[in-house]
Amino acid sequence: MNLLINEKYKVQPFYVFFLVHSMQTGIGVLSFQRMLAKSTGTDGWISILLAGLIVHFMIWVIYKIFSIVPGDIITVNYHAFGKLIGSFFSLLFVLYFLILGLTVMISYIEIIHVWMFEEIPAWSFSLVFLILIYYINTGGFRTITGIAFLSVLVTYWLIFVFFYAMKYSEFTNLLPIFDHSILDIWEGTRNVSLTMIGFELLLIFHPFIKDAKASQKYAHGGALTTTLFTLFIYVVSLIFYSEKQLVMTIWPTLSMTSIVELAFIQRFEYIFVTWWAIIIIPNMTISLWAASRGAKRLFNIQQKYPLWGMSLIILMVNIFFFDIDSLNILKRIIDPYGVFFLGAYLPLLLIIIHIKKKRNRL
């Protein structure tokens, strides 16, 4: 399970900022406000900050793990548990990354159906996305990093939508504050977790970073930017809607774009949904790259074969099982079970390899 990556395939440490931030900024940004408002209302900002702190802790755990056992999660699992049990846990990560990519794709296609093209079958959109994802993946990790970099650069012009919405806002909607229990705040933190995940892809692409230790500050910077961006969106949503309206709105961020009026654009929400594809594509691409990379490492095969297989699985799901119930099932796997798995497993893994390291010294 030793892992050596040619230097020409690696990226500079500062690109980790864009990889982490682009993975965290995705489909959850369009809808997280609804569930958060249900659980914590005007105190949702506390849940967002708490979720951000947890993400920073988990990033620290990941880098601490790799400071003891260099490589990726496959190497670490093998070192901690041996070949058989380690391969089992590694397979769970492969399945997690596959389900994450599938969830993002189905969620975005559902938005396209509702807002733009109701009659076009889901499999046709998924086929286009899968061809594009495969093409990007064949370019290697440096190409994937370039797409993530581009997606972050083109994201922030959309922020003017939120400033536009503030013209119609009522700032008293932010009151009262500190009006919810600790259990409510924790429930809100769990509800916002789907927006915050994505940092865990570090577990696979860590070996592809030059001077990986130096990239930790950029990983934290990406996570901090996501936290602040999410906080900003939630505050704007609260003052634009009322708390009760926010609870009843399925995609608050998207609904907010429909108020934008420009002389040369009548339906700005169409522009927003279309442009969001540039932001979503890195989510799907990096997730499927990580899943196929993990399968390559586990079964010692060329990465293109598991990528083909996973793409076929996703296409079949979109053909035979695409509906809102399937989407809800996938979201329940990722949130909260996937989040709980990461939150419990990674600290435990750090403890195990730390104990093993001390015993080997003795």
Token output for 2: 């030793």
In a domain, 361, yes or no: no
- Which of 226, 195, 204, 194 is closest to 333 using CA atoms? 194
In a domain, 1, yes or no: no
pLDDT of the residue at 360: 78
Query: What is the residue-level pLDDT of the chain in tens, covering all 362 positions?
Result: 556 787 888 999 999 999 999 999 888 888 899 989 998 989 999 999 999 999 999 999 999 999 999 989 999 999 999 989 999 999 999 999 998 898 889 889 988 988 888 888 888 999 999 999 999 999 999 999 999 999 998 877 777 788 887 878 888 888 888 888 899 998 888 888 778 888 999 999 999 999 999 999 999 999 999 999 999 999 999 999 888 889 899 899 888 888 877 766 777 788 888 888 988 999 999 999 999 999 999 999 999 999 999 999 999 888 877 666 666 666 666 665 667 778 889 999 999 999 988 887 64
Token output for 79: 């070192």
In a domain, 358, yes or no: no
In a domain, 229, yes or no: yes
Amino acid identity at 88: F
In a domain, 362, yes or no: no
In a domain, 330, yes or no: yes
Number of structural domains, the chain?
Answer: 1
The answer to whether 285 and 136 are in contact (CB under 8 A) is: yes
pLDDT of the residue at 268: 79
In a domain, 355, yes or no: no
Give the structural domain span for 318: 7-350
pLDDT of the residue at 330: 66
76: domain CATH number is 1.20.1740.10
Cis omega before residue 336 (within 30°)?
Answer: yes
Token output for 96: 């997690």
- Which of 94, 34, 108, 48 is closest to 279 using CA atoms? 108
Token output for 102: 């599938």
pLDDT of the residue at 12: 95
Q: What are phi and psi of 192, to 5 degrees?
A: -90, 0
- Quickly count: other Cβ atoms within 10 Å of residue 312's Cβ: 11
pLDDT of the residue at 263: 67
Report, in this order, helix, strand and coil percent for the chain, each rounded to 5. Answer: 80, 0, 15
The single residue listed with the structure tokens 């990406």 is: 222
In a domain, 134, yes or no: yes
DSSP 164-186: HHGGG--GGGG-S-S-S-HHHHH
Where helices occur in the chain by DSSP H, the ranges are 15-24, 32-40, 44-68, 73-81, 83-115, 122-138, 141-155, 160-165, 182-191, 193-196, 202-205, 216-240, 243-248, 252-257, 268-299, 304-320, 324-332, 339-361
Token output for 238: 């609260």
- Which of 76, 305, 82, 34 is closest to 204 using CA atoms? 76
pLDDT of the residue at 116: 85
